[in-house]
Amino acid sequence: MLRRTLASPQAGLVAVIVLLGGVLGVFAGTHVDARTGQVVNNFLNSYTLIQTATDASFFAIMAVGATIVIISGGIDLSVGSVYALAGVTTAMVLRSMAPMDPAAAVAVGLAVSLGIGLVCGATNGALVVGLGVHPFIITLGTMWIVRGIAFVASNAESILLPRALTSVAKASLGLRESLYPVPMLMMVIVAVAGSVYLLRTVGGRRVFAVGGNQEASRFSGVPIGRVKIAVFVLSGLTAGLAAFMGASFYGSASCADATGYELYVIASAVVGGASLSGGKGSAAGALLGAILIVLIRQSIRTLHFDQNYEWIIIGCAIIIAVVLDQASARFTVKRLAGR
């Protein structure tokens, strides 16, 4: 069991994250805490670590849903736009219903965000299955359509959310002031739920089967269409949940939210071990990939590099991850052929 765990892609990611965290700890420097008088590392402290996890959480949640789509052999480029539409719709609905009881506001906000995500995801899946067009083309189109709807609906305004939602997203849960672990905990919960779905349910096994060999799955009686629609629905739901958490945490929503998140989400999935050809990936890998991407961004700031290099480094990380995945697949084929 230990040998198999150490040989897994997740173990390699954890090692890279620990190494990069150690480098940041060495080069980040220290400061004196004004409250306690103790010398504190600028990176290895509770505030910075939780803030780093919070930065990762909003697109890590989406990365879990996107990874399920990628495992099935598809891709979803619309997650950032779904995030924006879910956020502005939630803000507009709550503004129109104000004033509300705090608990009711949280419940309505969560329901609206998840509802928008579900509708967008189901639409993507229905178009992919019904039109028989590659998911890249469908979701590229819906990415612009959904973002445009968010722009028109909100009149390009930033809309404030009720304080009740921010109080939930920024609940300290017993930690000291300015530590907000809720987004981090939600990220972990989604990753665990995604892992259970993929590894312990019939639906999850069908996702791997469709991504690994669609024709064999069809002859085995797997409902290909329903599986494809289901994975896009899950992707939409995670985008809606991320929008609820993000908008609540920052206290506002706009049509420009999550612009460019598509890159971070797909990078997190691919760096986390998901194969763009389908049939391979994990929710835990998506979470670790998101954390690694955020640490790369943190490293650029800490080491005072030009932040424009961020895009170059993430792009290189995607290419390297895909090349290593293909090399691993070729090696596996040769080893099986040799046997």
Residue 137 lies inside a defined structural domain of this protein: yes
Residue 230 lies inside a defined structural domain of this protein: yes
Residue 335 lies inside a defined structural domain of this protein: no
Residue 210 lies inside a defined structural domain of this protein: yes
Give me the helices (H) in 8-161, please. Answer: 9-27, 46-71, 79-97, 102-131, 135-154
Count of Cβ atoms closer than 10 Å to residue 63 Cβ = 39
Q: Give the Cα separation of 122 and 116 in Å (integer).
A: 10
Output the domain CATH number for residue 254: 1.10.3470
pTM of the model: 0.91
Residue 87 lies inside a defined structural domain of this protein: yes
Residue 317 lies inside a defined structural domain of this protein: yes
Residue 120 lies inside a defined structural domain of this protein: yes
Question: Among all chains, which residue has been given the structure tokens 């956020």?
Answer: 87
Residue 53 lies inside a defined structural domain of this protein: no
Number of domains in the chain: 1
Range of the domain at 140: 58-326
Q: Give the Cα separation of 107 and 227 in Å (integer).
A: 29
Residue by residue, pLDDT tens for the chain (339 residues) are 555 655 566 777 888 888 888 888 888 888 887 777 788 888 888 888 888 889 899 989 999 999 999 999 999 999 999 999 999 999 999 999 878 899 999 999 999 999 999 999 999 999 999 999 999 999 999 999 999 999 999 998 999 999 999 999 999 888 877 789 999 999 999 999 999 999 999 999 999 999 999 999 998 899 999 999 999 999 999 999 999 999 999 999 999 999 988 888 998 998 888 988 889 999 999 999 999 888 888 888 777 777 777 778 778 877 877 777 667 667 666 776 666
